[in-house]
Amino acid sequence: MTMARVAVWVLIMMMAVVVGGTSAARAQVGDNRELVNPNLASADELSELPGLTGSLVDGLIERRPFLTMTEVDAYLSGTLGRSELEELYQALFLPINLNTAPRAEILLVPGIGDRMAHEFEEYRPYLALGQFRREIGKYVDDAEVEQFERHVFVPIDLNTASDEAILSIPGLGQRLLHEFKEYRPYRALAQFRREIGKYVDADEVARLERYVVVK
């Protein structure tokens, strides 16, 4: 092999390492701005949604933060029927963790059936939403992939996530972005709880923690 070919081969390998090494850092929450987040919505926003009466709205707010969509569904299903919930979840949804959500929680995503829920599980663990788009795109068109993506997330690595990935966490702004990065490198989630707990209360730490991991 000539020196020129060696140089080209080394460059290709370096590029592969860079691309592979950043895939986890780009993991993020799907673009869910069109959905109402039950942990963040105001009483007025919740009251505008189908089926949510004053008492249900009050109950949602009192029980926050919900750490899974399963918890949201367990509360609401005590009052609303399944057809009412299916309509509501077109507008109200808490993103699910693609790597840990049980089958029952995946099935809460609008438009999901058992076959597609199986495909969601088939490709675990997901390192980034790009992987989710690629794999699920084998079965449905781009518009449907985009629809599913609004309801899911891949946890971000606290030590490598980009600003864009961190800011994709619902309700997280520039101030907390700075604090998330200030304490790198994190050695454990207990450190994250302790440091971020200086700025927000325990409920908010718990809400944020569901979107992150330490690798």
Token pair belonging to 160:
């490598």
Q: Read off the pLDDT of residues 9-43 as tens digits, 9 standing for 90 and up.
A: 333 333 333 333 344 445 489 999 899 999 999 99
- CA 194, 195, 199 angle in degrees (round to 5)? 105
Specify the pLDDT at position 28.
84
Nearest to 57 by CA among 79, 35, 82: 79
Nearest to 110 by CA among 85, 143, 140: 85
The whole-angstrom separation of Cα 8 and Cα 205 is 47
Specify the pLDDT at position 15.
36
Specify the pLDDT at position 199.
98
**Upper half-sphere CA count for residue 88 (Cβ side, 13 Å):** 28
Specify the pLDDT at position 26.
56
- Pairing relationship of beta strands 212-213 and 156-157 according to DSSP bridges: parallel
Q: What is the pTM of this model?
A: 0.86
Which amino acid appears at position 10 of this protein?
V
Where the chain has pLDDT below 70, the residues are: 1-27
DSSP secondary structure letters along 174-187: HHHHHHHHHTPSP-
The whole-angstrom separation of Cα 108 and Cα 82 is 10
